[in-house]
Amino acid sequence: MVLDTSWRCGVVAALLMFPWTAAFAADEAEQSLAQEDRIGELERKVEVLTEELERTRTDMAVPESELESVFGLGPAASKVYGLTRGLSLGGYAEGLYTAVVKDKKDSGEVNRIDMLRAVLYTGYKFTDHIVWNSEIEFEHATTSSTESAGSGSVSVEFAALDFLALDELNARVGLVLVPMGFVNEMHEPPFFLGANRPEVERTIIPSTWRENGVGIFGQLAGERLSYRFFTVNGFNAKGFNAGGWRGGRQNGNRALAEDMAFVGRVDYAPLDWLLVGGSVYVGDSGQDQTTNGVDLPDARTTMWEVHTQLRALGLQVRGLLTMAHLDEAGALTRALGPVALGGSGRLDANDNGVIDTGEVVAQRMFGAYGEISYEVLQWITPESEMTLEPFFRAEWIDTQDDMPDGFASDRRKELEIYTAGLQFRPIPQVVLKLDYRNKRAEQGAAGDEINAGIGLVF
């Protein structure tokens, strides 16, 4: 009887415990499934993050071998156009050592070493059709002056918003690089020869030259024909002098816009290895100003250049010819006055009373250069990405080629410059440069130089 009662009690206890045991087992199973779901979700998120990081790394990576220019800009400045979306970072840097080795005493030139530039490109691709691109440049390592030199600067070299519609027609607005010559738009150091930019493209075409404006650009004929047309604010003629128009650039800094200008460029590549092109700039530069109690003349400024490039089998040949014309140069020089221009204001009796201010603004400037280079390592290490390019460049410059009536020219401004050197790239993004520059002035001394430079893009 006792056994029978115990058995019945056990059965009852088991029946009472079963729901709790089942519930516990079900809960444990549910927790296990939930944990598996959480692990699966975490794994999915890790995979998504990995893919996103890889995409970001790929989008922002330094190009390893193919460095391509887009819309005339330098290859590093063109990175943003290759993105699918989002932020692009790039830049370049440039350093230079110059030793004056001839006519040093007579020319007054000295040896110098300079961290010329450190540059950051930032761009953002909002959509396939709207792209922001900009360049911020730090020049000469510091914004403070030193005992050795004046201050450096921090500047926005360009900052523009592109509206991309078709290969044939797009628009740009902002601070734009003026599309003239080889170097003004594509001024990254691995992509021009020599430790210094060609002097013609610093003096006559005053690179780096940028102004506020708006315009259109595109490619036609299967990308063999490209164009860029912009309306920009004009020069400020108060900055002109005997050395050219460089001081008249307004650089986007609260620029006077009483006088606007037009600049247009066309390039044509009839063959894969041949490029021919030209550009023209025209606009007034007086900007409705008064100086020394005298109204400045309109001072119409016109500049044009033609250029050609041949690139084949490691050989590169370039040539460029440019001229700049200034209407009312005599009236402008008289309005600015010898004091403003830095001259003496004396009369030159030998020239029958011709005024010699020492800093006359010319009515015509002239510049031309040709250069040739050849990549030699293709025959020695054909599988390597290293390059070594001996080169030679000849330049002719005269910023007082034709003078206004009543003014004498300064023959120190007529120069011949011959540069021979080597350019070595251990990788496509890094360049080491060494050259010798022989400078010859029509009058006075100009020091010869040995130049050594470094440059990089990323």
Please give the pLDDT value at position 105.
83
**Residue 453: inside a domain:** yes
Average model confidence (pLDDT) across the chain: 88
Non-local CB neighbours of 419 within 8 Å, separated by 6+ positions: 194, 196, 391, 392, 393, 394, 395, 435, 436, 437, 438
Q: Is the pLDDT of residue 206 over 60?
A: yes
Residue 458 pLDDT class (50, 70, 90 cuts) = very high
Range of the domain at 296: 90-121+139-152+181-457
Non-local CB neighbours of 378 within 8 Å, separated by 6+ positions: 314, 387
**Residue 294: inside a domain:** yes
Please give the pLDDT value at position 209.
97
Please give the pLDDT value at position 96.
98
Residue 135 pLDDT class (50, 70, 90 cuts) = very high
Task: Give dist(CA 164, CA 128) in Å, integer.
Answer: 7
Higher-pLDDT residue of 456 and 294 is: 456
**Residue 16: inside a domain:** no
In contact, 443 and 408? CB cutoff 8 Å: no
**Residue 33: inside a domain:** no
Residue 157 burial (C-beta neighbours within 10 Å; 0-12, 13-18, 19+): buried
Segment 175-203 shows an average pLDDT of 97
Q: Is the pLDDT of residue 71 over 80?
A: yes
Segment 122-151 shows an average pLDDT of 96
pLDDT in tens, 28-59: 666 666 677 778 777 787 887 777 766 655 55
Residue 243's SS3 state is coil
CATH number of the structural domain spanning residue 360: 2.40.160
Among the residue ranges 243-247, 257-261, 300-304, 338-342, the one predicted with the least confidence is 338-342
Task: Give dist(CA 322, CA 326) in Å, integer.
Answer: 14
Q: Is the pLDDT of residue 22 over 60?
A: no
**Residue 200: inside a domain:** yes
- Lookup: tokens for 128: 């396939």
- Lookup: tokens for 24: 């516990």
Q: Is the pLDDT of residue 427 over 50?
A: yes
Size of the chain, expressed as the number of residues it contains? 458
Q: How many Cα atoms sit within 13 Å of 45 on the Cβ side? A: 6
In contact, 72 and 81? CB cutoff 8 Å: no
**Residue 168: inside a domain:** no
- In sequence order, which ranges of 238-395 are alpha helices (DSSP H)? 329-341
Going from the C-alpha of 254 to that of each of 103, 134, 160, 260, the distances in angstroms are 41, 18, 16, 14
- Lookup: tokens for 243: 């050395």
**Residue 363: inside a domain:** yes
The amino acid present at 184, given as its one-letter code, is N
Q: How many domains does the chain have?
A: 1
Segment 7-24 shows an average pLDDT of 53
- Lookup: tokens for 398: 């005269």
Residue 384 burial (C-beta neighbours within 10 Å; 0-12, 13-18, 19+): exposed
Q: Is the pLDDT of residue 189 over 80?
A: yes
Cβ atoms within 10 Å, residue 104: 16
What DSSP state is assigned to residue 407?
B
Segment 410-432 shows an average pLDDT of 96
pLDDT in tens, 301-360: 999 999 999 999 999 999 999 999 999 999 999 998 854 444 443 334 334 344 444 579
Which residue spans within 182-299 are E strands per DSSP?
210-220, 225-233, 260-271, 274-284, 290-291, 294-295
Please give the pLDDT value at position 45.
78
* Percentage of the residues of the chain whose pLDDT score is greater than 90: 75
**Residue 392: inside a domain:** yes
